[in-house]
Amino acid sequence: MAQLYTKNGVPLRVDRDAVFNPSGKQIGRIKGEKVYGPTGKYLGTIVGDRLVYRSTQSAGVSSPFAPRIRAGSAAAHRAASALWGEEPNVS
């Protein structure tokens, strides 16, 4: 499983195209460089190893999906990034 972090350093796990929050709940699905939530709503854009919410890219919509549950992650947080954009909602 690959590792991805939010703008503020919250660790996320990636399994193929699925993105999971630290508690193991699937919060999104990757489509290209963007991540969409279970309702199909834009969640954020992947920039390097970070997930950042950018309002200028939020118009896109994807198909909804049923989220999966995985075991939680004990990965450490990283320092916040100065990337342009906001912290995505990963709860």
Domain residues of the chain, as ranges?
A: 1-86
What pLDDT, on a 0 to 100 scale, did the predictor assign at position 79? 77
Q: How far apart are CA 91 and CA 83, in angstroms?
A: 21
Q: How far apart are CA 69 and CA 14, in angstroms?
A: 13
What pLDDT, on a 0 to 100 scale, did the predictor assign at position 53? 96
Burial class (CB in 10 A: 0-12, 13-18, 19+), 25: middle
- Tens of pLDDT along the chain (91 residues)? 688 999 999 999 999 999 999 999 999 999 999 999 999 999 999 999 999 999 999 888 898 888 888 876 667 777 788 788 888 988 8
Which run of H or of E encompasses 10? Answer: none
